[in-house]
Each structure stands twice: as C-alpha cells, then as structure tokens.
Amino acid sequence: MATDPVIEIRELHKAYGQLEVLKGVSINAHKGDVVSLIGSSGSGKSTILRCLNLLEDSQSGEILFDGEPIAWKGEGHNRRPADGKQVLRVRTNLSMVFQQFNLWAHLTVLENVMEAPVTVLRQDKAEVEARARGLLDKVGIGDKCDVYPAQMSGGQQQRAAIARALCMEPQALLFDEPTSALDPELEQEVIKVIKDLAAEGRTMLIVTHDMRMARDISSHVVFLHQGLIEEQGPPETLFDAPRSDRLRQFLSHSQ
C-alpha cells in the first residue's frame, strides 16, 4: 500500500492583504523525496515554505503533515491553525534552513545546534551534546564547536545551520535558497552537504536558484510562476524538455 506523503499541500491560497501570492498550489513530498522549487524572484517560493511551516497564515487549501491535516479555526483572512500542539509538532518536524543562516550571534556553534532540542523539546543535555558534536563533524566543522558564528565563513555558518536543523531530528528539511548568500567557492561546500543528505534519503523541500544542484539531487522539480505551478516533473524532463515558454525563458536566464 502506498504511504501518505510526509508533506502534502493542496490548493493553497495565500494573500498579503490584496496581493494574491499563492493562487492554488499543490505539492507532495513522500519520504525520501527531494523536491526543488524554482521560479523567478517574487513567484511565491519562500511563501510556500513559510505557510507550510505555519510561520505564515493562508486563506484556503489544506496542509497535511504525515497524513494529518492541519486543523484551522476561522475563515479567509482570519484563518489560523487551531491547535498549538499540532503547530509545534509541524515546526519541530520540518526544520528550516534560511538564506541568511540565522544563527544566534551570542551563542557558540555547539550551543546554537543544541539550543532548540534542549529548550523546545526538553531533551537530555548530554545526549543532545553528543548528537550535536556528531552532526558538526558530519558537516565538516567538528573543530568549530566553541567558536561564535561571526568567527566563521558564510559556508561554515550555513553548515552549522544545517547541523542545527538536523539536531531536531526532523522528518523533513526545508531549505530557502541555502547557497545564495555565499561566494561561489563557499557555495560548493554547502552543496556537498545537501547532496550527502539527499543521498541518505532525507525528505527535503529546497527553494533554489542553483539549477545544477536542482538537476543533480531532485526527485521532482516544481516551477512556480506568479503564484501558480506552471510546470513540474522529474528533473530530466523539466530541464531538458521544458514544455512551457515561461519555463524555457526562465531557464535560459538562469543557466
């Protein structure tokens, strides 16, 4: 029997006031899927991740996490998640990695990675520390445990942010342009970590401008245009045989 997707978004609509940003977007990610979201700036990619993580309200459509629909109260612009526990479950199971790393400047790298499992999940400190050190090793900065973010390169900071996301032991990772704040040579070290995670079978939703990475690691690619999915499919089809003029035009500008 087919299992439920880990992430399912059905016909999601989102507006900021009068501005309709998502006009009915549906996306599925099953366990082990790597779904890349591509599209021009302003097409609604970040908004999808923020709605999915319940950082942002949406007006209609459904979001299911692990087969369980988010419960809403209110309608339209008043719609909110109804169940705080469910919100916490979704947020802790969908760890987000941001373009600007968003590490705590006043905490060491190790403290950054340990923070949420200890304070939010109330896990045992010694266990979290062992896991955090292991993850920092895994992303190649095991020697940076005791330094502060400002003392590291952007690529190292982003790898710390990935270790921090992994330390929550989430069911899926959400990346919002994880390499676009980095110089090209630093980009590669972060891409390598993301590739390793893909090879491990992690479920990931990745907003990216990096078409080469999207082609290499995605099981599915979604091209968004002005709040609607214009085209989607396996990377070979999307990149090598795009059907829509808009996607062809987008790709010609971004490769």
Cβ 213 to Mg ion shortest distance, Å: 16
Contacts to ligand ADP from residues 166-205, by CB under 6 A: none
Cβ 63 to Mg ion shortest distance, Å: 19
The Cβ-side half-sphere exposure at 81, using a 13 Å CA radius, reads 21
Q: Which is nearer to Mg ion, 52 or 114 (CB)?
A: 52
Cβ 138 to ligand ADP shortest distance, Å: 28
Pick the piece of the chain touching ligand ADP (CB under 6 A) from 14-22, 59-67, 160-168, 239-247. 14-22
Pick the piece of the chain touching ligand ADP (CB under 6 A) from 2-10, 34-42, 133-141, 241-249. 34-42
Residue among 36, 43, 95, 179 that touches ligand ADP (CB under 6 A) = 43
Q: At what angle do helices 125-138 and 154-167 cross, to 10 degrees?
A: 140
Considering only CA atoms, which of 12, 219, 205 is closest in space to residue 94?
A: 205
Pick the piece of the chain touching ligand ADP (CB under 6 A) from 42-50, 78-86, 106-114, 188-196. 42-50
Task: Identify whether the C-beta of residue 250 lies closer than 8 Å to the C-beta of residue 40.
Answer: yes
16 is an interface residue for ligand ADP by CB under 6 A: yes
Contacts of residue 61, Cβ cutoff 8 Å, sequence gap at least 6:
9, 10, 11, 12, 13, 24, 25, 26
SS3 content of the chain, % helix, strand, coil (to 5): 40, 25, 35
108 is an interface residue for Mg ion by CB under 5 A: no
Residue among 6, 34, 36, 46 that touches Mg ion (CB under 5 A) = 46
Task: Identify whether the C-beta of residue 164 lies closer than 8 Å to the C-beta of residue 112.
Answer: yes
Cβ 46 to ligand ADP shortest distance, Å: 3
How far apart CA 173 and CA 166 sit, in angstroms, is 8
Site of interaction with ligand ADP (CB under 6 A): 16, 19, 21, 39, 41-47
